[in-house]
Amino acid sequence: MTTPPSTTPRKARHVKRTHWALVAAATVLPLVASTGTAVADTPATAAPAAGCTYTPAVPADNFKGIPVFNAKKAAKPYSATLRTSQGQITFEALTDKAPCTTFSFRFLAEHDYFDRSHCHRLTTQRIYVLQCGDPTGTGSGGPGYSFPDENLTGATYPAGTVAMANAGPNTNGSQFFFVWKDTKLSPAYTPFGRITAGLDVLQKIAAGGEDDQNNPGDGFPTLPVNIRNVKISAR
């Protein structure tokens, strides 16, 4: 069975973790039942944006510091363009609906956090997502901090949605996913962007398939998706 986007450790090609990182990653293992079905498949309770704080957390891969939320800067609209080995993907950040999340994404992008990383998971059955944002490529990496969920009331995940992967309520970090085909998920994953260009790139990646290393229809994309850089542009 395909599991929802999460930061639970997954297999990855040509990636080795340090002992420290493996111990840190193990803290999210209880979130997955022995069948592989995520138990955190119920709506999460989102904290209000006014209470946005970034809390130190492990692991701290490619650590760039911990952002300090600035409501004025967080409100400024922007678009993000990911230049990947398969083509460009641009999305409009939902700064009015998920200011804590979009502020974090901009902080990481402006500090080159995503540069030279790759998207480690593609699902082609049940849910239709490409998951990225882990500099280790294992599915267990994180930026050294976590922050609350947002924008979950009535959340849906049509094609073109950009949302956060997590390890349970209010455990957001750096991992996120693109929805390349209309997907039904419980409203537990903060939607924070809307693709404005590059959906065809995602569909090309999906058409290339994946290697089933996690489950049938769930694995490493056959067409490698290497993120070269992420550019933030004011709107």
pLDDT at 94: 98
When comparing pLDDT for 35 and 105, which is higher?
105
pLDDT at 4: 82
160: confidence class by pLDDT, cuts 50, 70, 90: very high
How far is it, in rounded angstroms, from Cα 208 to Cα 211?
Answer: 10
pLDDT at 8: 54
pLDDT at 42: 34
User: Residue 171: CB partners within 8 Å, gap ≥ 6?
Assistant: 7, 28, 57, 146
